[in-house]
């Protein structure tokens, strides 16, 4: 403690002590005066209230705050930016039919967003037969997934936003075939079956809602080791050299809008394993809180959507699949409208 600080404290203590002493002496003097009023009648009608002659107790001054010593570091860590920003860089890409964020490490998207409406699905200006899978040249060559990475990998080039959702324009449909909209997916039993039925379910939501927004992406979830009981994240990597990660799961977050400004939004969140799934398995068995996907992915989906506007999708309509033959589903790419309206729960 500095000498100045000690002097201030000593001065304050001395002043306070003298004031207290004076007050005590004054009270003794008043009590010895016989003309003073008794305690039971402090202010008799003929007497005036006593006036204290002692000075008020001084308020101690606050101790001075020591100034923070300014630090001049001898190093400059951000100077490395003169050579380039290390990242991560998410390669945000808005297209006609999709908006996506790409993960350069896994060579898969973080997420791909789409918007479908009754009018967009009824349009018939795109034909899948005229589209081809292509590498996305907007991603630097050393970070992008390549066509040969999928060759004889045993996995489908699985659309995150399906081509059937972009029939309103051939250019829009073509963009769904960029590899930045793909992830390695199990083919039989998943991409060509349960996952495709799930995509059809999303399209049929437009029979109830004028606007539906969907965010789709991969997850890499831990599994418990049967031998030591520990949890580990483990996934296959395909390509030559191996560089495209095979997700363990996929998610969809659905926003079904009622079309009113500031209106209700029915939300649904689902996580499906990248594996063969029996078509009889109820869709609601894969329903999860959106917060679970956020924790697993590190993403946020509805931070600006107030709680009072949120509804639970599967409480508003029946969340169930309509299982259709693979060949019949592809006929939808030639312009058929989504059939069989979803029913509302009783």
**Exposure b/e, 218-239, CB count within 10 A at least 16 = b:** bbbeeeeeeeeeeeeeebeebb
The single residue of 110, 115, 159, 197 carrying the catalytic annotation is 159
Q: Quick check: 177 and 295 in contact, CB under 8 A?
A: no
Question: What is the Cα–Cα distance from 274 to 184, expressed in whole angstroms?
Answer: 9
Chain centre to alpha carbon of residue 200 = 26
Exposure pattern of 40-77 as b/e (b: 16+ CB <10 Å)?
A: eeeeeeeeeeeeeeeeeeeeeeeeeeeeeeeeeeeeee
Q: Is 207 exposed, middle or buried (0-12, 13-18, 19+ CB in 10 A)?
A: middle
Catalytic: 159? yes
Preceding amide of 88 cis, omega within 30: yes
Catalytic residues: 159
């Amino acid at each position: 403690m500095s000498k100045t600080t000690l002097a201030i404290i000593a001065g304050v203590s001395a002043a306070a002590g003298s004031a207290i002493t004076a007050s005590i002496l004054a009270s003794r003097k008043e009590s010895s005066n016989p003309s003073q009023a008794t305690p039971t009648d402090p202010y008799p009608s003929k007497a005036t209230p006593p006036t204290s002659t002692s000075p008020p107790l001084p308020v101690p001054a606050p101790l001075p705050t020591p100034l923070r010593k300014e630090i001049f570091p001898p190093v400059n860590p951000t100077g490395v930016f003169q050579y380039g920003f290390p990242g991560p860089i998410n390669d945000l890409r808005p297209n006609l039919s999709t908006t996506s964020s790409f993960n350069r490490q896994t060579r898969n998207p973080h997420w791909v967003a789409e918007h479908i409406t009754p009018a967009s699905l009824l349009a018939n200006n795109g034909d899948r037969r005229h589209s081809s899978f292509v590498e996305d040249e907007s991603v630097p060559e050393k970070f992008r997934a390549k066509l040969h990475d999928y060759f004889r990998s045993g996995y489908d080039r699985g659309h995150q936003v399906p081509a059937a959702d972009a029939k309103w324009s051939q250019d829009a449909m073509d963009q769904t075939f960029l590899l930045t909209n793909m992830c390695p997916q199990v083919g039989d039993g998943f991409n060509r079956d349960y996952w495709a039925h799930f995509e059809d379910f999303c399209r049929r939501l437009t029979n109830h809602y004028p606007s539906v927004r969907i965010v789709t992406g991969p997850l890499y979830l831990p599994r418990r080791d049967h031998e030591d009981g520990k949890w580990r994240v483990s996934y296959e990597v395909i390509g030559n050299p191996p560089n495209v990660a095979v997700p363990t799961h996929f998610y969809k977050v659905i926003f079904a809008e009622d079309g009113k400004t500031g209106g209700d939004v029915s939300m649904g969140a689902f996580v499906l394993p990248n594996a063969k799934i029996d078509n009889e398995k109820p869709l609601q068995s894969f329903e999860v809180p959106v917060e679970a996907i956020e924790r697993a992915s590190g993403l946020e989906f509805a931070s600006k959507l107030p709680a009072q506007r949120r509804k639970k999708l599967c409480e508003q309509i029946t969340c169930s699949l309509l299982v259709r033959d693979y060949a019949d589903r592809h006929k939808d790419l030639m312009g058929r409208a989504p059939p069989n309206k979803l029913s509302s729960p009783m």
